Structure 1
Amino acid sequence: MSADDVVVLAVEAQDGQYHLRSKPEMDNPWPGSPDGLLTGEAGWIAVLTGTEFGSVPATFRVHPHAPPLNDHDWDMAVERTLDCPDGEITVASLYSSDSRTVRVPAGFVRLRVSVRNRGSASVTPAQAPEQPEAHLIDAWSVPEWQPSRVVAGPDETAQYRIS
């Protein structure tokens, strides 16, 4: 992928999550989530969804530098750094072999995961919301590891998870 490339995905959430992985190892399979949206380690991130099992539309954008924050379109956004030595992030379901690899700059990559409508996604399919859950993943290279930070929100799903 080149700068400002966009990949539109239908990610399969399983057990209320999907993964962004740059390395196969997991030292701790479930570290706590301080923000109610992301958890993980240096080589993987679990994105916590409102959808327990089902498809979540996600747009993955790679930028040459940090994009402007567009928080008025999103209920919550969290930034986290991922170590990507091979310049690849695999977007994967938890229990199936469904995955998609996205090219990113090699090295430390900052991810901003923005979400909306996670709370309404937990209803039964017969009560499906008019505006389904949606995710935006922005990625850009950073020179060094940076701590996670909430840049918008939290949404009601995060408030429930961290209370």
Structure 2
Amino acid sequence: MQRWSRRNMYAALDDVLEVLSPKAYAAAKDFARKVHEDEKRREGRPRLFTMRLDAFAARVQAVANEGSDDALIVELFQELDDRGEATGLGLSAFKALLRGAHRRGLLTLRAWQAKDGVKTPAMQVSAVDHEGMKLHLVCRTAAPLPIPWGRPALPLPPARAAATGA
């Protein structure tokens, strides 16, 4: 196909489109639109399910560090899904990856405690069972990860008016 001229390639694509039923054509067009929207939403970030476990844990940790508190697992999943990074990954698979990262010491999860506040339905959905414990939160690291684009530039000092003698 790479050796074909553009004219031959477009002719072959036209032949394929003519053979498709209107329903199949509409479904293919809808799928292409969804893929395009997904690519825009992800902004070039890799999908979580394509990453190695250590890279997955680092990405989850980075998103958890964006907040001021430890992150509820279900809210983290929803945030990553909104960013397009969890496309093709369900909540149960996300929890399994979290459990694996926690087991290997790549990510720290902790149980919900009474001081954390009222139990909510989101907390029940968020629970991950690991070694007889129900874990709900991804712990922030003590020092947040560095800003990927670097520190902001120092502000410029105000310009002084040049003294001119007249």
Q: TM-score range by the shorter chain?
A: under 0.3
TM-score (norm: length of structure 2) = 0.23
| Higher RCO (Cα < 8 Å, 6 or more apart) | 1
